[in-house]
Amino acid sequence: MSTPQPLNIEFAKDDQGRLAMVDTNGFRHANVHPAKLFPLTEKDHWISIQSEGAREILCIEDPQSLPEPSRSLLLDALARRDFVPIIQVIHRIVRLANGHEWHVTTDRGDTRFEVETDESIQPLGHGRLVVMDRGNTRYLIPNVAKLDRISKRKLEHYY
């Protein structure tokens, strides 16, 4: 396997802590946002750098091709964006007029959120589920079989 050639772009943080990028032409793009193009199959490759208006500016095949400290800044921004709470226990799922309210314990603590439809609960394969709330926050159940009996029963009722 060959070592990727360093990219001639640079990432930095502005005065407000937002990510900025200087491209190969020396143009500074303020408040850029990285997004993984293939988060499940190529999670360490193919990163889209998008403008504030969600227009793609650049695609980075391999972040390892970036020199430090740009690589660390990009990977840190991706980690903050990829925040996905892990559901550990389902305490209650309450039917609402337009969806369901879930009361759960995640790896970040107890929380509640609203789910619009059953389509907001999607299998990822290998016993994994992703649940998307009304605000588009994704919650992950990494292995349904490992949930406690009561949580599985509550999940089966609505999924």
For residue range 66-107, what is the model confidence (pLDDT) as tens digits? 999 999 999 988 887 777 899 999 999 999 999 999 999 999
Domain boundaries defined on the chain: 10-81, 87-158
pLDDT at 150 exceeding the cut of 90: yes
| Phi, psi of 145, rounded to the nearest 5 degrees | -60, -25
Q: What band does 1 get if pLDDT is binned at 50, 70 and 90?
A: very low
Distance CA 130, CA 5 (A): 36
Beta strands in the chain (DSSP E): 10-13, 19-22, 28-29, 33-36, 47-50, 56-60, 87-96, 99-106, 109-115, 121-125, 128-132, 138-141
pLDDT at 6: 61
The answer to whether the pTM exceeds 0.85 is: no
| Phi, psi of 153, rounded to the nearest 5 degrees | -65, -45
Distances (CA, A) of 54 to 32, 34, 50, 72, 139: 9, 10, 5, 22, 23
Q: What is the mean pLDDT of the chain?
A: 88
89 with 71: CB under 8 angstroms? no
